[in-house]
A and B are shown apart, each in its own frame.
Chain A
Amino acid sequence: MRCVKRGERVRLSLTLNGRKLSGEAEPRMLLSDFLRHVLGATGTHVGCEHGVCGCCTVLVDGAAVRSCLTLAVQAEGKAVTTVESLARPDGTLNPLQQAFQNNHALQCGFCTPGILMSFTDFLQRNPAPSEAEVMEVLSGHLCRCTGYAGIVAAVLEAANNRNQP
């Protein structure tokens, strides 16, 4: 493991949404700040910086993590996946995103990227979840606009559509 001094800026490399990128960071820089302000990937949002709200959730090597509770240096050499990866390059929404639009599962949209990433991870592990399981995962996120019902409906719709033959 590389040893870095306090205050020293180091060059980090990671794979963001399939593209190899690098940028400089102090050891104390949060992954959320590194993604947003160094790499310019502003789709990941910061809502509380103490690990409660879930806005900043991204995938690191396929697993959902709070990027505000992760240091940028911890992501070195890893594959980070954010909300920007979900739609097709032509802008077509993926089934989970489309289900969010269909079910009015977002209003201001600030918490949405984190929720999408949590369920991107979750639906890979559990493609046919029950409503209770969806609610359990969603309880790791705060949304102040919608009242959550549309989000639960959207995730279930996405799972159903994916499981249609």
Chain B
Amino acid sequence: MAQSLGAPVLRKEDPALLSGRGRYADDLPVPAGTLHAHVLRSPHAHARIVGINPTEALAQDGVWAVITGEEVRRLSDPFLIALKAPIDQWSLAVERVRYVGEPVALVVAESRYLAEDAGELVRIDYEPLPAVIDPRAACDPSGPLLHAQAKSNEISVRRFSYGDCNRAFEAAHARVALSCDYPRNSFTPMECYVVVAEYRASDDSYDVMANFQGPFSTHPVMARALRVPGPKLRLRIPPDSGGSFGIKLSVFPYIVLAALAARITGQPIKWVEDRLEHLLAASSGPNRITEIEAAVAKDGRILALRLDQLEDYGAFLRAPMPGPLYRMHGAITGAYDIANVEVVNRVVLTNKMPASLIRGFGGPQLYLALERLVQRIAIELKLDHLEVIKRNLIPKEKFPYRAAAGALYDSGDYLRAVEAATGGGRLDELKRRRDAARAAGRHYGIGFAAVVEPGMSNMGYLSTLLTPQAREKAGPKNGAASMVTVNVDPLGAVSVTADVTVQGQGHQTVLSQIVADRLGLDPADVNVVLEMDTAKDQWSIAAGTYSCRFTPGTAVAAHLAAERMADKLKAIAAKQLNVLPEDVELAGGRIRSRSNPDNSLPFARVAGTSHWSPAMLPEGMAPALRETAVWSPPELEPPSSDDRINTSLTYGFVFDMCGVEIDPLSYQVRVDRYVSMHDAGRLLNPMIANGQMRGAFVQGIAAALYEEFVYDEAGQFLTGTFADYLVPTVAEIPAVEMLHQETPSPLTPLGAKGLAEGNCMSVPSCIANAIADALGVRDIALPATPRRIHALIAGAEEIPPVDAAARVPEAAR
């Protein structure tokens, strides 16, 4: 059997999904007597709840309950958060609402149709309060305050210093500064949230099925809120999930809400989020304002970097926020060799939906500022942009490379990747197209972006949020455990369970490749079961699929578990083949002597021995075949006392180059050419890897040009349907040339790195750079919609005088 790892093995998942036989959360049967819930939501951005009158609703046939924040407060505790700050949040609003769409009451009825009918009869009185939407305004102490006890909306400020910035700035040839705003958006999985919850009074436990994605560090948060120990919140995750991209972490408040509703009514409760609710209140990436400044040498070398990052998390800080502000922290210098860095991280709350996990997770925000700054350095120093990138890239000889803020970059050859992407005539052609367009009077620009893509987060990175003293007190946090179990049954059938959640990444396929290769089988012979049951499956707080942890984490655990299984089978077979274990190999469904392949046994026969004839096993060996491996790489150390943190295990590299043209009539940005070069170490399944990269690329395009959650000044939400929130269709997606190089990671046994987020990080900055180049402007707001581009070209539009209507000719009225 040839190695299947590295081959584009077709997906095991597909036949069921293509035949309508998927098992998504809303497809699964529910217990008899299940009631259906409908969430009533705040129409105000900020208001006091004066009263909730459910009388009329409760009088309707089929209506069981109207649950309010007061009952939720009585039966549950506020969610734990990463900061010691009095920002209490329950699964329903208590006393106040703080964003449009915040859950205020839950109507429970025999059907969803009845629950929604009854919802219209619940009378909720509000006393509106002034709202604050703009993150800068929210930092003004004289403005509206979201959480009175927190005393400020700016709930965390931390300053970090690495190297000697002051000296570098004083000695620098020049300083280049830029201010950058990253907008709010989401990647709206096509399947919304689903929760089915039961309460068992007999042992005060909850049994919940939900399309939760992890991280499972949120499981204790839910259990604590429900006032039960972990095992009494049994969480089951279905075999299929309709996409997630980080968003389905934020189903967790609804898991608690449905669990409480089950307890209150004594019946199982089902809640399915609809799309309007999802857009309004499910989750968003955080918007960030970055003030960034570089001290540079005459040749464009960056000597020092200062960043002031103000990140807006909306109305509440939900666990594990403010992750995006810290996930990139160790790698804040990106792909560049910069010794001196100062960072100020600020967390602010505003009257918007709470922000949380979203693919890219802090990367897009960082790189928009950093990569735009590198272009500004080139412009202000009258240098070539690409040349400035190259001069600052970390040279190959320096790997493994310890970045200023603590990241340990495992491997890379950045310059080679850049040369390959810009070579082959690609950049020359872009320049030709640009020159021709410009000669014809059109706006055409070229953009570049170089980003480092982290894979598998150090569970301790978020504690960088705390001061070293507070960390000392709380106990060190670090590491990231991954767990996989390989099982071989008495007939030799292999099955695998793992600590990931399925969202479409093809985990079943890749795990089957890894295990099959170790056991000398075909991937088709390996059954991978990834539905999760927290009561019975192996998991740790790091479990789930997020932050590209599959390849550097779970895949390695699968490799180790399969290797142990192989070793055990070799030892059993050695005895039966009468050879030494070192001489045994597993290949082609047989277990045989390496030196004399004719001396062999079928795989199933050896497996059967372990189950049926323990007496025949080598002395001291335990019978049965079940191996669980835990992978926890030592490089994921806690933050040091001087705040250096290795935020992730692997660090891939992405270099993007594009040409864009502005349509002179519609002001649309047309991406003319896009080239994206990746180095994610060894690719386990290039077909799936390409699918992940292309998916990330399209989401990057979406963030750059189309998608934005828009609020007006009063906090009303303006993008509440798919007609307002513009998810790109095939017609909006440009062609992309994907290139790869493989610099294996020395820190993972498979040499592979995380790879599914890089283009989410690189594309917005690359496109912004190209637009800036096309228009010769400094400030680019994303998404670069025709309205914004028009404003850049035409200048601010004059507001018509108020009496304009009076001057409309009589005949035209």
Contacts and interface: CB of A to CB of B under 8 A. Distances in A.
Interface of A: 26, 28-29, 36, 41-50, 52-53, 55, 82-84, 86-87, 91, 93, 97, 100-102, 104, 106-113, 116, 135-136, 138-152
Given A84-B20, A138-B730, 5 more contacts: A110-B191, A116-B18, A142-B722, A144-B189, A146-B695
B274 A41 contact: no
Nearest to B189: A144
Contacts of B24: 42, 45, 110
9 contacts: A47-B191, A52-B723, A83-B19, A110-B189, A112-B17, A138-B729, A139-B731, A144-B695, A147-B694
A147 B698 contact: yes
B721 A50 contact: yes
Contact of A135 (B19, B242, B276, B731): B731
B503 interface: yes
A102 B731 contact: no
B11 A101 contact: yes
Contacts of A151: 730
A101 B699 contact: no
A28 B112 CA distance: 12
Contact of A104 (B188, B245, B687, B698): B687
Contacts of B722: 48, 50, 52-53, 142
Contacts of B619: none
A137 to B, nearest CB: 9
Given A43-B20, A91-B19, A145-B695, A108 B503 contact: yes
Given A29-B113, A143-B190, A101 B727 contact: no
A145 B274 CA distance: 19
Nearest to B242: A110
B473 interface: no
Nearest to A100: B18
Contacts of A41: 20
Given A108-B242, A138-B730, A148-B730, A101 B10 contact: yes
A46 B112 CA distance: 15
Nearest to B272: A46
Contacts of A116: 18
A45 to B, nearest CB: 7
| Most chain A beta carbons < 10 A, residue from B187, B191, B697 | B191
A146 B112 CA distance: 32
Contact of A45 (B11, B14, B21, B191): B191
Interface string B189-220: 11100000000000000000000000000000
B13 interface: yes
Given A87-B18, A108-B191, A47 B687 contact: no
A107 B506 contact: yes
Interface residues of B, number: 50
B608 interface: no
B275 interface: yes
**A-side interface mostly:** loop
A83 to B, nearest CB: 4
Given A107-B243, A110-B189, A147-B695, A44 B20 contact: yes
Interface in B689-705: 690-691, 694-695, 697-699
A138 B729 CA distance: 8
B697 to A, nearest CB: 6
Contacts of B699: 144
Contacts of A110: 22, 24, 189-191, 242-243, 504
Contact of B275 (A48, A113, A148, A149): A48
B15 interface: yes
B505 interface: yes
Nearest to A98: B18
Nearest to A42: B27
**6 closest A-B pairs (Cβ-Cβ)?**
A43-B20, A108-B504, A110-B242, A109-B17, A107-B504, A147-B698
B115 to A, nearest CB: 14
B241 interface: yes
Given A93-B15, A135-B730, A147-B694, A53 B190 contact: yes
A141 B567 CA distance: 49
B714 interface: no
A102 to B, nearest CB: 7
A147 B722 CA distance: 17
Contacts of B694: 146-147, 149-150
A45 B17 CA distance: 11
B580 interface: no
A86 B431 CA distance: 48
Given A101-B14, A101-B18, A112-B18, A42 B190 contact: no
Contacts of A49: 274-276
A3 B19 CA distance: 36
Contacts of A136: 731
Contact of B733 (A102, A111, A113, A148): A148
B688 interface: yes
A49 to B, nearest CB: 6
Contacts of B691: 104, 107, 145-146, 150
A147 B721 CA distance: 21
B708 interface: no
Interface in B465-493: none
Contacts of A100: 14, 18
Contacts of B242: 45, 47, 108-111
Contacts of A83: 18-20
Interface string B496-513: 000000011110000000
A110 B275 CA distance: 14
Contacts of B311: none
A109 B18 contact: yes
Contact of B243 (A43, A97, A104, A108): A108
A144 B18 contact: no
B757 interface: no
Nearest to B240: A109
B26 interface: yes
Contact of A142 (B27, B244, B505, B729): B729
A45 B695 CA distance: 21
A141 B729 contact: yes
A83 B722 CA distance: 24
Contacts of B730: 135, 138-139, 148, 151-152
B223 to A, nearest CB: 28
Contacts of B15: 87, 91, 93, 101
B729 A139 contact: yes
A12 to B, nearest CB: 16
Nearest to B22: A109
Contacts of B113: 26, 28-29
Contacts of B243: 107-108, 110, 144-145
Nearest to A88: B19
A136 B730 CA distance: 8
A84 B19 contact: yes
A49 B272 CA distance: 12
A2 B422 CA distance: 68
Contact of A109 (B13, B721, B733): B13
A111 to B, nearest CB: 5
B17 A106 contact: yes
Interface in B391-416: none
